[in-house]
Structure 1
Amino acid sequence: MTETNPSAALARRLYGLTEPIGMVPYAAPEPTEEVMALGYRTYWDTYFAGRAAPLGRVPAEVVHAIFYNFADGEVARHIPRVWDVATPEAVLAARERGAAAAVRRILGDLADSPAVASAADLATKAATSAPTEGRALYAGLRTLPVPDEPVARLWHAANLLREHRGDGHVAALVSERIGGLEAHALHAVSQGMPAERFGRIHHLPAATLDGLARRMRSRGLVDDAGRITDLGRATKERVETLTDELAAPAYASLGPAEVDRLVADLGPLAAALDAVGSE
């Protein structure tokens, strides 16, 4: 088993503290409502428009490659059609308004605390200092202006850190030859859940799910009963370990005292968001 180095351990710890903030656009109603107000009809329209907007008007094939974990054709149902409704710039502004409003609502009185401004500054320092090479979505986000308002700045930084980590996670999956659908299935079976019932893939055609199961069995990742094998667990552990290692450079710009302060500032904020599932 690969030993986790201190920088990777720090990246894992800060992932746990920033992810509840970064998850807000996918869980809370305000971001979806703000983007829907531009004229979109479904949640998935707002998802693809909001998350792909930093890339500009690129083809569906590019978004599919970068997002990595959608079945063939799923991205193309939304991209590029979503840009007939609103511009990427309008979507980005609406998403930021909604995310900031949701974080403020969830945090309540904490939203105006010194910890938010401090965490926003330190998280932004980290989020804007990592290398962009090989990280397409993170690089796109880096081109956007950093908000002045502390709550919006905190969410913006968490979103940057989330997508920086996500780009690294894709690289880790590619290094282990784990495709996007396989990643969902491997996560599901590692939690003791039948892969075909996992929310991100359960809607796929039976033939697609059968083919996914055959590929995973042929590699020894799951057994004939669909349970994760020792090889499957070891593979998933390598992916997660490398993901942490690849996320670590984002925090290299922070000194030890700044790291301690960021962890202390984020603790109660993450707890408040976790308590409601970032909703």
Structure 2
Amino acid sequence: MYDLVEPLGLVPYFADESDEALLALGLRNVWDAYFAGRAAPFGRGVPPEVVHAVFYNFAPGEVARHLPRVWDLTTPEAALAAREQGCVAGIRRIVGGLADDPGLARAADLLLKAATSAPVEGRPLYAALRALPVPEEPVARLWHAATLLREHRGDGHTVALLAEGIGGTEAHVLHALSVDLRAQDFGRVWHLPAAQLDAVIDGMRARGLVGDDGWLTTDGRAAKERIEAMTDRLAEAPYHALSPAELDCLVAGLEPISAALRKVFPM
């Protein structure tokens, strides 16, 4: 299900229409658009320190460069509407005629049934999204359901990282090294000051996760595998709401949509 749902969840980050709709509100850059769109379910009054804690994997100060400043330029309500509008436009452009196929509407209803069935306790971003109105239009409904599931999984991933003692920046280093990419070349952390990134890697080396050669040790790879396994387990709950027949129908409906998105997105 992750493989089928994740391409829909990535639409705000890889389809230009989402950023374009948010930037049209007067935001300064794509990172303004990112934080305005993703943090909007919390509303205007939540301080950046709280958003930093929930998002988990941004370096200190990165959230505060955008929040609450974006709310001087637009409102959470406008950001939510623009994000949805842009994502629907992006999906329609990419999937073409599938957007109006009855199979998409059926998939949207089933995915929403799963996405709104899980407990919200311990899932702050998922809970905030659950409090939003559900779109009526099928493509918007499908994207909304996928976003709920993506953030539900993300909240669980944070739990898994915390349980393993892996900090936010460390999570990026762990992932980069697990795919044989130097942390200094990984897009989410390469911009950090070298001394800051080196200190993170040194801390992981001191805990036996990174070897003297700069790559993951056996213990480091085992930690990554435990995190991914726990993340998967914690992401299962929504799908328990579906019968086997409903799950089969959902898979069949999502497969062509996911395939169309994967042809476009760098996954």
- The aligned residue for residue 12 of structure 2 is 25
Matches within 5 A, 1:21-170: 21-57=8-44, 58-170=46-158
Task: Describe the SS at the equivalent of 1:186.
Answer: helix
Q: Runs in 1 of length 4+ with deviation above 3 angstroms?
A: none
Is 2:192 the partner of 1:229? Answer: no
Deviations 1:210-265 (A, max 9, x none): 10110110111111111111111110000000001101111111011001111111
Q: Percent of aligned pairs with the same residue?
A: 65
- Residues 188 and 194 of structure 1 are in contact (CA less than 8 Å); yes or no, is this contact kept in structure 2? yes
Structure 1 gaps of 5+ residues are 1-13
Deviation at 1:164, TM superposition (A): 0.3
AA aligned opposite 1:142:
R
Instruction: Please point out which of 152, 163, 170 is paired with 1:175.
Output: 163
Q: Quote the Cα distance in structure 2 between the aligned partners of 1:218 and 1:77.
A: 31
Query: Structure 2-normalised TM-score?
Result: 0.98
Is 2:267 the partner of 1:267? Answer: no
- The aligned residue for residue 202 of structure 2 is 214
AA aligned opposite 1:50:
G
- Residues 20 and 278 of structure 1 are in contact (CA less than 8 Å); yes or no, is this contact kept in structure 2? no
Is 2:225 the partner of 1:254? Answer: no
Matches within 5 A, 1:192-203: 192-203=180-191
Structure 2 gaps of 5+ residues are none
Deviation at 1:148, TM superposition (A): 0.5
Q: Quote the Cα distance in structure 2 between the aligned partners of 1:181 and 1:252.
A: 33
- Tell me which of the two structures has the higher relative contact order, counting C-alpha pairs closer than 8 angstroms and 6 or more residues apart: 1
AA aligned opposite 2:7:
P
Deviation at 1:278, TM superposition (A): 7.2
Q: Quote the Cα distance in structure 2 between the aligned partners of 1:234 and 1:116.
A: 39
Q: Quote the Cα distance in structure 2 between the aligned partners of 1:199 and 1:278.
A: 13
AA aligned opposite 1:137:
L
Deviations 1:187-217 (A, max 9, x none): 0000011111110000001111110110110
AA aligned opposite 2:23:
M
Q: Quote the Cα distance in structure 2 between the aligned partners of 1:148 and 1:256.
A: 25
Q: Quote the Cα distance in structure 1 between the aligned partners of 2:231 and 2:121.
A: 16
Instruction: Please point out which of 226, 239, 260 is paired with 1:238.
Output: 226
Q: Quote the Cα distance in structure 1 between the aligned partners of 2:124 and 2:29.
A: 26
- The aligned residue for residue 10 of structure 1 is none
- The aligned residue for residue 6 of structure 1 is none
Instruction: Please point out which of 175, 181, 206 is paired with 1:187.
Output: 175
AA aligned opposite 1:157:
A
Deviations 1:118-169 (A, max 9, x none): 1100000001111100000000000111111100100000000000000000
Task: Describe the SS at the equivalent of 2:92.
Answer: helix
- Residues 124 and 157 of structure 1 are in contact (CA less than 8 Å); yes or no, is this contact kept in structure 2? yes
- Residues 21 and 278 of structure 1 are in contact (CA less than 8 Å); yes or no, is this contact kept in structure 2? no
AA aligned opposite 1:252:
H
Name the count of aligned residue pairs.
Answer: 266
Q: Quote the Cα distance in structure 1 between the aligned partners of 2:89 and 2:155.
A: 27
Deviations 1:4-36 (A, max 9, x none): xxxxxxxxxx11101001100001100100010
Give RMSD over aligned pairs: 1.0
Deviation at 1:87, TM superposition (A): 0.8
